[in-house]
């Protein structure tokens, strides 16, 4: 498994860095106002993102983050997410991965939950 130093989380709107490694968008929806040419992505794994229902329930409310995390980790075990999570794990095993999200609070996002999950 990859160590935590091999997995980073950033906003997709930030400038790419040579240290990013493989850049993977982990949002279900394409980020507002971002042209695909400007994203500098290696992959978009929308199937690893939380379900629409979970995302809408969470609404990025910091008080709901722990419950969001619990529910999202449960979702990652279902067949709809398993293949994309496996693909992401394979990328992480072969070098640094930067998980990208449009969320303003990256520390309380699915990207942070994924980084933690992949680093174990």
Q: Among 120, 54, 109, 41, which Cα is nearest to 81's?
A: 54
List the beta bridge partners of residue 11. Answer: 101
- For residue 5, give both structure tokens: 């130093």
Query: What does the pLDDT read at residue 2?
Result: 37
Query: What does the pLDDT read at residue 120?
Result: 83
Give, in degrees to the nearest 5, the angle at Cα 92 between 51 and 90.
80
Q: Among 82, 113, 94, 81, which Cα is nearest to 42's?
A: 94
Query: What does the pLDDT read at residue 79?
Result: 87
Which residues of the chain have a pLDDT value below 50?
1-4
List the beta bridge partners of residue 25. Answer: 44, 100
Strands 97-101 vs 7-11: parallel, antiparallel or unpaired: parallel
User: Do the beta carbons of residue 19 and residue 96 sit within 8 Å?
Assistant: yes
């Amino acid at each position: 498994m990859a160590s935590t130093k091999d997995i980073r989380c950033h906003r997709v709107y930030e400038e790419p860095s040579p240290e990013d490694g493989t850049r993977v968008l982990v949002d279900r929806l394409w980020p507002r106002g971002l042209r695909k040419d400007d994203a500098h992505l290696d992959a978009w794994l929308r199937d690893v993102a939380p379900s629409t229902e979970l995302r809408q329930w969470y609404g990025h409310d910091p008080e709901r983050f722990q419950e969001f995390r619990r529910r999202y980790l449960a979702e990652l075990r279902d067949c709809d997410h398993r293949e994309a999570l496996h693909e992401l794990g394979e990328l992480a095993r072969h070098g640094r991965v930067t998980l990208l999200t449009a969320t303003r609070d990256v520390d309380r996002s699915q990207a942070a939950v994924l980084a933690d999950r992949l680093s174990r």
